[in-house]
Amino acid sequence: MSESIENLQEYFKQLRLAEAASELPKLLRKAEQASWTYREFVQEIVQFELLKREEKSREKRMKWAKFPYLKTVNEFDLSDQTSLSQRQLNQLEEMSWLEQQYNLILLGPPGVGKTHLAIALGIEAIQKGFQVVFVPMGELITLLKTREYTRKSQVQLNRIEASDLVIIDDLMYMAMDQREANLFFHLINHLYERCSLILTSNKSPDQWGELLGDDGITTAILDRLLHRVEIIQMNEDSYRMKHRQTMF
């Protein structure tokens, strides 16, 4: 009997049902104990395979996202925010804006929860089956400048360009030279109407021109980013400072 099960498991593997193959002995015992019909047995096998595939796919998407840390929407403390209501947060969590390829721009000083909210929405998007990438602005510029020379940069930028949601953290935190501004524009132009963006920044869009140093490039970037966008102004006191911990 064990040889027969092993043969069945091998057939399952050949059909690329590896997860069901490993679980087959347990499923057979459950079927005998519960007197499943043939239909119920087949349904259990198929559902188990699909469930395990989705779990592995989700794990892979989480790994590819490269979040610096993990934060959920439920952990986002609305009591420290007056710029965002529970209803608005629920709407963001539903991801209809992502399905419609809207962008989100989270503005405010350091410590108000911009990155936390961006990561939380990114994780929620992954749970709903979307592909997400998180990248700090400084790292993104380095990737763009080294794309022609390093395989690692090529792979990471290919993932960014293939994503449903790209999160760029600390946008415009430092000035760019002409080449960097051009590279950034070409990326934004490529992503335009192909995916959604979440941008966090402590500078408003009307200040970006000073950092890009080129009015033409600034206008072209803003034209694409602001076509369909929701801007959330998070001008609160720093959460980290209000809840800081001391040694004494």
Whole-model pTM: value is: 0.80
Contact 121, 244 (CB under 8 A): no
- Cα–chain center distance at 118: 8
Q: What phi and psi values does residue 176 have, to the nearest 5 degrees?
A: -115, 150
Q: Cα(19)–Cα(218) distance, rounded to whole angstroms?
A: 50
| Token pair recorded at residue 146 | 């080294």
| Token pair recorded at residue 147 | 């794309």
Q: Cα(11)–Cα(26) distance, rounded to whole angstroms?
A: 17
CATH number listed for the domain at residues 73-242: 3.40.50.300
User: Please, where in the chain does CATH 3.40.50.300 lie?
Assistant: 73-242
Contacts of 16 (CB under 8 A, 6+ apart): none
| Token pair recorded at residue 170 | 């600390």
At residue 236 the predicted structure's pLDDT band, cuts being 50, 70 and 90, is: low
Q: Cα(68)–Cα(70) distance, rounded to whole angstroms?
A: 7
* Average pLDDT over all residues of the chain: 86
Residue 186 pLDDT more than 90?
yes
Q: What phi and psi values does residue 246 have, to the nearest 5 degrees?
A: -120, 165
Residue 247 pLDDT more than 80?
no
In the chain, where do the E strands start and end?
103-107, 132-136, 165-169, 196-201, 229-233
pLDDT tens readout for residues 116-154 = 999 999 999 999 999 999 999 999 999 999 999 999 999
Residue 245 pLDDT more than 60?
no
pLDDT tens readout for residues 42-86 = 898 888 888 888 888 889 999 999 999 999 888 888 776 777 888
Q: Cα(200)–Cα(101) distance, rounded to whole angstroms?
A: 17
* pLDDT above 70 coverage of the chain, percent: 93
Residue 143: name the closest of 106, 105, 186 by CA.
186
From residue 227, alpha-carbon distances to 167, 219, 224 in Å are 17, 12, 5
3-state secondary structure of 45: helix
Q: Cα(3)–Cα(111) distance, rounded to whole angstroms?
A: 61
Residue 12: name the closest of 56, 42, 33 by CA.
42
Query: Can you list the alpha helix ranges (DSSP code H) found in 15-130?
Result: 18-34, 38-65, 86-94, 96-99, 114-127
Q: Cα(168)–Cα(97) distance, rounded to whole angstroms?
A: 17
At residue 173 the predicted structure's pLDDT band, cuts being 50, 70 and 90, is: confident
